[in-house]
Chains A and B, each alone.
Chain A
Amino acid sequence: MRNRDLMSRALVLAILTIALAVSPGCTGNSGASAEAAEGWTPARTPDGQPDLQGMWTNYTATPFEVFDESDTPGLYSGDPDGSARGTGPGFLTDTTDRTLTKGRSLVVDPPSGRVPIMAWAEERRNFKLTHIQDDWENHTPWERCITRGVPGGLFPAGYGSGYQILQGPGYVSIVYEMIHEARVIPLDGRPHIGKGIRTWNGDSRGRWEGDTLVVDITNYNDKGSIATNVATQRVRAIPQSEELHVVERFTRVDENTINYEATIEDPKVFTTPWKVAIPLHREPDYQIFEYACHEGNLGLPNTLSAGRARDKAAASGTR
């Protein structure tokens, strides 16, 4: 009985929602929802938010950037023969049973599809990626099992790409499978936390612009990386500064798709702001598994101990 009761409530709500959406003078559908499929409007949660809830994945075959002849994919990926060259994460098996979207690049602005990285930041990345055996601080925060970051956590990873969105009164939460993040984003218009508090994932403040969830993120520390995964190619391990400012936009354009966009601005690292766009696909049967990363992190100590073994061999002249 309870289920039936809930269903009838849901039905009433759905009818109300449709009625509101088509009534003239309704101002709730301006802005980015123009991108939504014609005649389609997301349902509403009990507290009136456009409903983004459910299980989503972001598998794709679209490369992060447009490839350039100057790129050195082997360096970015730690893959000496460079087989990851110019591809997305398709080399990982978790994508094989999915129909993948394939476009030119996930970087949609600037139109070149290339991230405007300052030279010093590329040099810093090169140093870090060629010295991962020396120090854990040369690894990306993902390999250290700290975080894949924001927005980096929504860039393709190739596996473990489940995201559950939950909404309650005044909040949207995104549960990331990878490194078990649960971002809880307040929608009540409160100010950002004080500048003295710097964080790996930044401080998120959300608001609805029509049917688009817009999240403003500040208060980053300067220890993270904008992108951590091999699938992000040249941008992997690029540092971020405390001036990093990210604006994310989530627009549900049909039952099965959320268009996700992130505009990234960091005047110390990038010459201009740039933008990534990637669709999230509804996958109701996807099951998020616990990603206890740090608890099982053998890769990091093994990499370091290999480095120390190498040092020892070099010192004793056996190599």
Chain B
Amino acid sequence: MQSWLKGATIALASAAIALAGARLMQDPAAGQTSGADVLRTADGRPNLNGIWQAVGTAHWNLQDHQARTGPVLELGATFAIPAGLSVVEGNDIPYQAWAAAKQRENYDNWLARDPEVKCYLPGLPRATYMPYPFQILQTGSSDILMAYEYASASRVIKMGKTEPPPVDTWMGQSVGRWEGDTLVVDVTGFNDQTWFDRAGNFHSEALHVVERFTPAGPDRIDYRATIEDPKVFTRPWTIRMPLYRRHDENVQLLEFKCVEFVEEMMYGHLRKKTGNEKSFGTARLRWP
């Protein structure tokens, strides 16, 4: 073999190994142990304490989406919808045929149907990537609290075995375990009322979510959620995205009690007329 060819081969092979190595480090499922710079608790577990937030636009649409005008004409560019890359592995959500049709219908009737519009509890995994921070509190005992700024939602993740969920709920029942450095949370006991995003992606009460929180350094968690619902999808599917630590000075969860913001919308027609009613202007809906 000519020496230039040999050199090129070695270089290519090295590059391939380096790439594979980099990929292995990025993929939380491939290695259960994270890098050395992961913060740890006294008992050696990854220390996930802190305030975290997803930065992308998955809350608008889990799948590829181009930029789009907002629904209210007068809001112009300020409430237009940003573009985003899919967080769904393979981009496709494997809906059964009837469910694909229902998702399109939901998309077309977003404002009327999205539970977020009414300030309802977000469910999971949606709570994780809404455009609000959330706080993880790891305790000295076993439970882990996740408190979300949106709608004062929260969940206490029970570590280890627990009884099956006694009733269906908006937030489900979260049961956690550690697999190496990954916090795995199994969530069941959902009702069929929550969505996954503002694009009408939905599920039934048979929803089963398995979340994986894998620290990648002190300031990033690689988040994955596998979604299984035999009544709606043909197979389980997975979303993945990074969560970032909020470093703002004195950062804390603030109050976003949005019930107050939807009362006029929901009950305004039932309020006693006093003659001093607030005027709501002439905003025009472009869609839906």
Contacts and interface: CB of A to CB of B under 8 A. Distances in A.
Q: Do A and B come together as binding partners?
A: yes
Interface of A: 6, 9, 45-47, 51, 53, 133-136, 144-147, 164, 166-171, 173, 175, 179-182, 184, 186, 190-191, 193, 197, 199-201, 223, 287-290, 292, 294-295, 300-301, 304-305, 307-308, 311
B141 interface: yes
Contacts of B143: 164, 166
Interface of B: 41-43, 49, 118-121, 135, 137-141, 143, 145, 147, 152-154, 156, 166-167, 169-171, 193, 250, 252-255, 257, 259-260, 263, 266-267, 270-272
Contact of A134 (B121, B138, B141, B272): B272
Contacts of A51: 140
A195 to B, nearest CB: 14
B272 A290 contact: no
B147 A173 contact: yes
A46 B142 CA distance: 12
A294 B259 contact: yes
A164 B259 contact: no
B152 A136 contact: no
Contacts of A134: 271-272
Contact of B140 (A45, A193, A292): A45
B267 A175 contact: no
Given A304-B267, A304-B271, A307-B272, A287 B166 contact: yes
A145 B259 contact: yes
A300 B272 CA distance: 13
B43 to A, nearest CB: 7
A154 B271 CA distance: 31
Contacts of A168: 49, 137-140, 145
A294 to B, nearest CB: 5
Contact of B272 (A169, A288, A308): A308
B201 to A, nearest CB: 20
Contacts of B135: 184
A200 B255 contact: yes
A179 B267 contact: no
A244 to B, nearest CB: 15
A293 B257 CA distance: 13
Given A175-B156, A287-B166, A146 B259 contact: yes
Contact of A184 (B137, B139, B257): B137
B257 A175 contact: no
Given A53-B140, A184-B137, 9 more contacts: A166-B141, A166-B143, A166-B145, A168-B49, A182-B145, A184-B252, A190-B250, A191-B250, A288-B156
Given A168-B49, A175-B156, A179-B152, A295 B147 contact: no
A175 B154 contact: yes
A146 B272 contact: no
A197 B146 CA distance: 23
B255 A201 contact: yes
A193 B252 contact: yes
B43 A9 contact: yes
A184 B267 CA distance: 31
A197 B137 CA distance: 24
Contacts of A288: 156
Counting chain A CB atoms within 10 Å of each CB, the highest count among B140, B141, B171, B193 belongs to B140
Query: Which of B121, B152, B171, B250 has the most CB atoms of chain A within a 10 A radius of its CB?
Result: B152
Contact of A173 (B43, B145, B193): B145
Contacts of A46: 41-43, 140
B257 A200 contact: yes
A290 B137 contact: no
A136 B49 contact: no
B114 to A, nearest CB: 14
Contacts of A186: 252
B117 to A, nearest CB: 13
B170 A133 contact: no
A180 B272 CA distance: 30
Contact of A301 (B43, B137, B257, B270): B270
B83 to A, nearest CB: 32
A300 B271 CA distance: 11
6 contacts: A45-B140, A168-B139, A180-B153, A184-B253, A199-B254, A301-B267
Contacts of A164: 143, 156
B170 A292 contact: yes
Contact of A53 (B138, B141, B147): B141
Contacts of B171: 290
A191 B249 CA distance: 11
B7 to A, nearest CB: 51
A212 B238 CA distance: 46
Interface hub of A47, A200, A290 (most chain B Cβ within 10 A): A290
B104 to A, nearest CB: 25
Contacts of A175: 145, 154, 156
A86 B135 CA distance: 42
Nearest to B194: A295
